[in-house]
Amino acid sequence: MRAYDIIKKKRDGGKLSKQEIEFFVNGYVKGDIPDYQAAAFLMAVYFSKLDMDETLALTFAIRDSGDKVDLSQIDGVLVDKHSTGGVGDKTTLVIAPVMAALGYKIAKMSGRGLGHTGGTIDKLESIKGFNTVLSKERFIDVVNQTGLAVIAQSGNLTPADKKLYALRDVTATVDNISLIVSSIMGKKLALGSDCLLLDVKVGSGAFMKTLKDAKELATQMVSIGKAAGKKTVAFITNMDSPLGNAVGNSIEVIEAIETLKGNGPTDLTELCKKMAVYLLKANGESGDLEKRVEDVFANGKALQKFTEMVKAQGGDENEIKNPELFPKAKYSKDILAEKSGYIVKMDTEKIGTVALILGAGRAKKEDEIDFSAGVYFYKKIDKINEGERIATLYTNQENTLETAEKAFREALTVADKPIEQLPIILEIVD
């Protein structure tokens, strides 16, 4: 078997066997297949596409390319949630403690932000002392002790994905659904949870811009999850405006805390509650599931779980109990409406870029983050009056405010008439 023949076969529209895909992936990880052949393979896949059998084989090859996380020492049913990335997406900070309060276990590895999308690890590291790098033994101990733990991706987990993704990023082959599916699901299946909820974002702030593409992505991921023996459900959710009101790091943590107290924004609260209900359903639970979910918000158990996790991972629990203790940005600027009307459209990706300009994100992996920087919204797709505050920008770099305000205003479209708002949950694929 030769890499050349596999590339040529896919280039010409042929169907690759499981053995051919495994040979190519394993050879690339070992260094037997060079980058230039892997780049040619990715481009062949990009144009000729993979069918479902090939996508499944590629996913499993990525899953099996390195270490798997053995979670058998964790007592209870393990659930996981993955988002395809968006702006203001702090659902993990809410749904994980909610599920822990409902008696499930969450052993989650999350990523850092890059570009216009934020990262859960960056948000958690805005909590003083919070440690996202734990040994496997400590990771399992924290989950057994508190019901949940969230750490950074580490070790030799799916090395094939790391190598292939880096190559896709520089060869213009990122936006291929089979490659996206195998990347996401390869990592998720290596983690070994029993049940997986996928949050597929669609809209101006998401990688998937159309509902058609988002549904295809969701359907393929659910199919692969079930083929791997995992209970899997996908939510297709609206990212035509930021999720919640806060975009940044510490300000998103504060918003998550308020949501767990029952004081969160409507869209974030609705999404997290419905996700929790579906995770209960996926695990065969019945009865008044909505009430069970409502109760862990109302009685404080979900917030208690979040506080326990923060303490167990070295974070300052006082910041969770008193969010005003989070460090504040030195500079702020209110964005006021220049005329009356209706905000009818947001370029949500550009809003994410505004947060990046202010220091809340990173353009390159080595960039440092300003945890207190970000954007807080008072109005999204809504009616506005001249002079009314739309949002506030926060930063420790005063010289960024003018550029950030200009980019923010360019991201909004104001009209004389309102539009019908889409719901937060557009479709559920199970």
Where in the sequence numbering do the catalytic residues fall? 82, 161, 168, 183, 187
Q: Where are the alpha helices (DSSP H) in 14-135?
A: 18-30, 35-48, 52-63, 91-101, 120-125
Q: What is the DSSP letter of 399?
A: G
* Residue closest to 114 by CA, chosen among 353, 351, 348: 353
What's the number of CA atoms in the CB half-sphere (13 Å) around residue 186? 28
What string of DSSP letters covers 127-187? STT------HHHHHHHHHHHSEEEEE--TTB-HHHHHHHHHHHHTT----HHHHHHHHHHH
Q: What is the DSSP letter of 398?
A: G
User: How many residues can be counted in the chain?
Assistant: 430
What gap in Å lies between CA 418 and CA 359, rounded to an integer? 33
Q: From residue 148, how far is each of 98, 166, 253, 297 by CA, in Å?
A: 10, 30, 16, 17
Instruction: Answer for the pair 405, 335: CB distance below 8 angstroms, yes or no.
Output: yes
Instruction: Answer for the pair 183, 50: CB distance below 8 angstroms, yes or no.
Output: no
Instruction: Answer for the pair 87, 117: CB distance below 8 angstroms, yes or no.
Output: yes
Instruction: Answer for the pair 392, 241: CB distance below 8 angstroms, yes or no.
Output: no
Q: What is the distance in angstroms between the CA of the first residue and the CA of the last residue of the chain?
A: 38
What's the number of CA atoms in the CB half-sphere (13 Å) around residue 322? 5
C-alpha of 236 from chain center? 13
Phi, psi for 198 (deg, rounded to 5): -105, 130
